[in-house]
Amino acid sequence: GEPLYLASSPLQTGEFNYCLSQSGREVTLSCADYPPTALEGAKKVVNCVGMDIGSVEFLLDDKGEPWFIDINPVSSYHPEVEERLGFDPWVRQAEWIRDREEHKK
């Protein structure tokens, strides 16, 4: 599959809580501009663990290379996605599951 969106947050000195499901953080949301190495790496991670849907979290080092830090088979979406990007990720996820099941019949 393809990603719904990319959420990015600047590095925080002295803190390591990047939970995007919490509002109030400085977060950039985009449906494009995926770092190519991160996108390809995330697809490999998803395939390796056999995950059909979910999220992959990573940090980019100073050379732009991803360091994968977490995978979540059940995503916790940023609360402002619908307002800022114009779609509800939970609806998209439900539609994907429905379509997948219909194709199995």
**Residue 41 belongs to domain spanning:** 6-104
1 assigned to some structural domain? no
Domain count for the chain, please give it.
Answer: 1
**90 in a structural domain:** yes
What band does 98 get if pLDDT is binned at 50, 70 and 90?
A: very high
Tell me whether residue 14 is in a domain: yes
Q: Identify the pLDDT of residue 87.
A: 86
Residue 70 lies in a domain: yes
The answer as to whether 79 is a domain residue is: yes
Q: Is residue 66 part of a domain?
A: yes
What is the CB-side half-sphere exposure of residue 45 using CA atoms within 13 A? 20
pTM for the structure as a whole: 0.69
46-87 pLDDT, tens digit each: 899 998 888 888 888 888 888 888 888 877 777 778 888 888
Residue 91 lies in a domain: yes
Write out pLDDT tens, residues 6-21.
777 766 677 665 566 5
